[in-house]
């Protein structure tokens, strides 16, 4: 770029900036522009307040007609015939105005527009449901059906279940309730915490069952029919019926001439179910951790799945579902479709945060949106069963008869652990527990007897474990001698080989003490799942514990400790003290001076169990406490009747006998020989490298 070009460009820039400076508005012009903008804003605001909408004549005519015959009840509009005079109230922006005032025009333009919008909404609501318009208004009536186990209340508004009370169970919301005997019946559904809406696509607009007032007809003590009738001869009804002494509610959709209202292409009905899962137990945190939304996929081998118990979760399932359930610790509401729910299904769970409204009343907000197959010409297009009852294994197992083609697997609502532990619980623990439950004893005694029976069955393993530990104690001096004879890393293979020979000659095994204990672990873990899920223990007192299914929170702290809580459970403290004693006894019997850090770790474990079990069921801590006491007693009995001198003599006799190597021992020795050969070869290479 030459000099002339640069000068030319600079001159052009100077001209542009000079022009912009000269065109800059003066202060008077700026003030005039600002004033004009203010006037424009005022005019715009005034225009917004000016009525921009009016009621068309056909809407006015329809509203006048409805005033004479109906009450239009929406959130905002209530029209009625008062003393022969048409009247109406529209509630908008917190104010009430009459229909006549709106027709004439209100002075408040914003209020006028809001009232007109509310009236348009009411008109549209009636116009869309013209065939069933007579059921859009009415007075709510409630119908109660009951048997020996369950009482259900049905409202005419939306044909909704507004009450479900379990006669045999009571709810305790605080520890004071237990002490003072304050108890109320368990109510799975009460008021507006449950909603079930069926939606069909009509020829003009959606048909939603929850907006109508149904006509109810009681059929004895155990059944009621809720009916909608249309002017064109169509009828749509929901029949609720209870079996005798059952927690299962039968729900049938009945219809007649609905094909006049529904298009011939109708193939499905949308099902939308919401429930605020009610709190029933004193220990809210533990109850919340055992509450979730469950469901089962169609098919005899269909899996039972659930949303996480923690936080807010949602999931979409594309396959068909057989049922879904709002499950709490001890009670469930299960909606079962006789022919299955079509996919996709949306499942949502929202937890209540501490400090949130209704935090102490509800556990979770649950919602399911799905559909079922529907035939507009069928007399009975859809059927359901709703289980409203306890998570009791025997009860749930009996309800599999409601689906002869597949196993409903409702027993999965009882939390019994993973597959192995569930087999132990369902095959051994629950049958024995139920058998003992028929004795009439208190459940504290039943747990004691169950513990004794398990300890007797497991005693051979316990004795074998003790004998193996005794042999290892006898061999401690010989092992120490081998360690001194073959010290260092370079002699590790030789040292291990000699130790294996010593174990083989003495008939001992380092794993002999651990293996029997490992075989007992599945039963201990199965019991960990069983006791907090056993509804039989709910409300059962023993000694100082008012409820064996809840923490025996007798000692209350003036502060809260993270994880531990604001209380101490007595059975948990007893379990911890006994566990520390058993740990001390075990450390003595091992007589091991190596790894001192491991010793402290062994003593730390019972303290960790105290923190973990403090909020668990008192029955579980009581079982572990009694089990540890028996284990300590068995250990002392073994020491009393088993002499280490006799063990040493027996081992000496065994060492003299020729031993045939078993396959495992032979493989171990072969591995040690190969390892030793590899070490020698490595040493040779290292020596050559140094040269």
What is the tens place of the pLDDT at every residue in 370-428?
999 999 899 999 999 999 999 999 999 988 777 777 889 999 999 998 889 999 999 99
Residue 325 located in a structural domain: yes
| Mean pLDDT value of segment 289-313 | 89
Specify whether 473 is located in the same domain as 447: yes
Distance from CA of residue 550 to its chain's centroid?
18
Task: Categorize the per-residue pLDDT at 574 as very low, low, confident or very high, splitting at 50, 70 and 90.
Answer: very high
Q: Please provide the average confidence, as pLDDT, over all residues in the chain.
A: 79
170 or 13, which is more confident? 170
pTM of this structure: 0.75
Residue 609 located in a structural domain: yes
d(CA 273, CA 286): 25
pLDDT of residue 584: 79
The proportion of the chain whose per-residue pLDDT surpasses 70, expressed as a percent, equals: 70
pLDDT of residue 150: 95
| Mean pLDDT value of segment 232-255 | 92
Helix (H, G, I), strand (E, B) or coil at 153: strand
pLDDT of residue 264: 83
204 and 130 Cβ atoms separated by less than 8 Å: yes
Residue 685 located in a structural domain: no
Specify whether 190 is located in the same domain as 82: no
Specify whether 551 is located in the same domain as 602: yes
Residue 656 scores a pLDDT above 70: no
Of the ranges 128-142, 170-184, 662-676, the best mean pLDDT one? 128-142
Residue 225 located in a structural domain: yes
Task: Categorize the per-residue pLDDT at 125 as very low, low, confident or very high, splitting at 50, 70 and 90.
Answer: low
Give the largest Cα separation in the chain, rounded: 122
Specify whether 483 is located in the same domain as 618: yes
Residue 672 located in a structural domain: no
Specify whether 230 is located in the same domain as 297: yes
Which CATH number does the domain housing residue 146 bear?
Answer: 2.70.98.90
Residue 339 scores a pLDDT above 80: yes
Residue 341 located in a structural domain: yes
Specify whether 250 is located in the same domain as 279: yes
Contacts of 327 (CB under 8 A, 6+ apart): 291, 292, 293, 294, 306, 391, 413
Tens of pLDDT, residue by residue over 18-71, are 545 555 555 665 555 555 555 544 444 444 444 445 667 766 776 666 665 555
Specify whether 159 is located in the same domain as 219: yes
Specify whether 550 is located in the same domain as 572: yes
Q: Which tokens is 262 given? A: 């529904």
Task: Categorize the per-residue pLDDT at 111 as very low, low, confident or very high, splitting at 50, 70 and 90.
Answer: confident
pLDDT of residue 617: 86
235 or 102, which is more confident? 235
Residue 84 located in a structural domain: yes
d(CA 627, CA 575): 9
Specify whether 227 is located in the same domain as 345: yes
Residue 5 located in a structural domain: no
Q: Which tokens is 602 given? A: 């062994």
Specify whether 633 is located in the same domain as 486: yes
412 or 605, which is more confident? 412
pLDDT of residue 291: 93
**What is the domain count for the chain?**
3
48 or 185, which is more confident? 185
120 or 616, which is more confident? 616
41 or 482, which is more confident? 482
Determine if the peptide bond prior to 344 is cis (ω within 30°): yes
| Mean pLDDT value of segment 470-475 | 70
d(CA 284, CA 362): 9
**If you ran DSSP here, which 8-state letter would residue 157 be given?**
B
Residue 134 scores a pLDDT above 80: no
Residue 639 scores a pLDDT above 60: yes
d(CA 356, CA 271): 29
| Mean pLDDT value of segment 191-212 | 86
Residue 619 scores a pLDDT above 70: yes
Specify whether 574 is located in the same domain as 514: yes
Specify whether 39 is located in the same domain as 158: no
Domain of 454 in residue numbering reads as 443-652
pLDDT of residue 72: 60
């Amino acid at each position: 770029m030459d000099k002339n070009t640069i000068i030319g460009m600079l001159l052009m820039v100077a001209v542009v900036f000079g022009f912009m400076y000269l065109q800059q508005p003066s202060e008077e012009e700026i003030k005039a522009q600002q004033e004009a903008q203010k006037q424009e804003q005022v005019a715009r605001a005034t225009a917004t307040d000016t009525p921009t909408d009016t009621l068309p004549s056909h809407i006015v005519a329809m509203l006048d007609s409805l005033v004479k015959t109906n009450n239009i009840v929406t959130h905002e509009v209530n029209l009625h015939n008062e003393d022969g005079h048409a009247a109406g109230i529209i509630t908008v922006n917190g104010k009430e105005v009459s229909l006549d005032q709106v027709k004439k025009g209100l002075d408040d333009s914003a209020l006028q527009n809001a009232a007109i919008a509310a009236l348009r909404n009411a008109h549209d609501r009636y116009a869309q449901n013209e065939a069933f318009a007579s059921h859009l208004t009415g007075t709510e009536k409630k119908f109660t059906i009951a048997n020996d186990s369950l009482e259900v209340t049905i409202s005419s508004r939306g044909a909704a279940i507004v009450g479900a009370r379990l006669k045999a169970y009571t709810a305790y919301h605080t520890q004071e309730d237990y002490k003072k005997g304050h108890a109320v019946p368990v109510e799975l559904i009460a008021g507006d915490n449950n909603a079930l809406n069926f939606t069909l696509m009509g020829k003009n607009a959606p048909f939603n069952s929850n907006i109508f007032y149904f006509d109810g007809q009681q059929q004895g003590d155990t059944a009621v029919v809720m009916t909608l009738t249309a002017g064109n001869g169509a009828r749509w009804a929901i029949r609720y019926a209870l079996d005798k002494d059952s927690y299962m509610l039968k729900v049938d959709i009945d219809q007649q001439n609905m094909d006049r209202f529904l298009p011939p292409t109708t193939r499905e009905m949308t099902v939308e179910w919401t429930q605020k899962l009610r709190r029933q137990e004193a220990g809210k945190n533990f109850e919340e951790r055992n509450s979730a939304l469950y469901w089962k996929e169609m098919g005899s081998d269909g899996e039972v799945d659930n949303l996480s118990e923690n936080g807010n979760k949602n999931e979409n399932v594309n396959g068909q579902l057989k049922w879904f359930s709002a499950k709490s610790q001890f009670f469930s509401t299960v909606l079962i479709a006789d022919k299955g729910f079509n996919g996709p299904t949306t499942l949502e769970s929202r937890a209540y945060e501490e400090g949130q409204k209704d935090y102490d009343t509800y556990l979770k907000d649950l919602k399911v949106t799905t559909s079922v197959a529907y035939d507009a010409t069928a007399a009975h297009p859809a059927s359901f069963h709703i289980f409203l009852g306890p998570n009791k294994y025997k009860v749930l197992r009996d309800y599999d008869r409601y689906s002869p083609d597949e196993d409903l697997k409702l027993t999965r609502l009882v939390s019994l652990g993973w597959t192995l532990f569930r087999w132990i619980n369902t095959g051994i623990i629950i049958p024995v527990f139920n058998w003992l439950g028929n004795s009439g004893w208190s459940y504290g005694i039943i747990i004691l007897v169950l513990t004794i029976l398990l300890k007797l069955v497991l005693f051979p393993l316990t004795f074998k474990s003790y004998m193996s530990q005794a042999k290892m104690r006898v061999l401690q001096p010989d092992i120490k001698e081998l360690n001194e004879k073959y010290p260092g890393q370079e002699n590790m293979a030789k040292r291990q080989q000699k130790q294996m020979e010593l174990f083989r000659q003495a008939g001992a095994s380092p794993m002999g003490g651990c293996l029997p204990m490992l075989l007992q672990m599945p039963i201990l873990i199965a019991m960990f799942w069983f006791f907090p899920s056993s509804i039989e223990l709910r409300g059962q007192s023993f000694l100082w514990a008012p409820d064996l299914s809840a923490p025996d929170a007798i000692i209350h702290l003036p502060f809260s400790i993270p994880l531990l809580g604001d209380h101490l459970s007595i059975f948990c403290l007893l379990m911890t003290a006994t566990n520390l004693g058993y740990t001390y006894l075990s450390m003595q019997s091992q007589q091991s001076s190596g790894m001192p850090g491991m010793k402290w770790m062994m003593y730390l474990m019972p303290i960790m169990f105290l923190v973990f079990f403090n909020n668990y069921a008192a029955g579980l801590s009581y079982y572990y406490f009694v089990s540890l006491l028996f284990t300590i007693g068995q250990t002392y009995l073994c020491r009393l009747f088993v002499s280490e001198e006799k063990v040493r003599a027996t081992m000496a006799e065994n060492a003299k006998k020729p031993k045939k190597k078993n396959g495992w021992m032979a493989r171990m020795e072969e591995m040690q020989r190969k390892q030793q050969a590899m070490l020698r070869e490595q040493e040779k290479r290292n020596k050559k490298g140094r040269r």
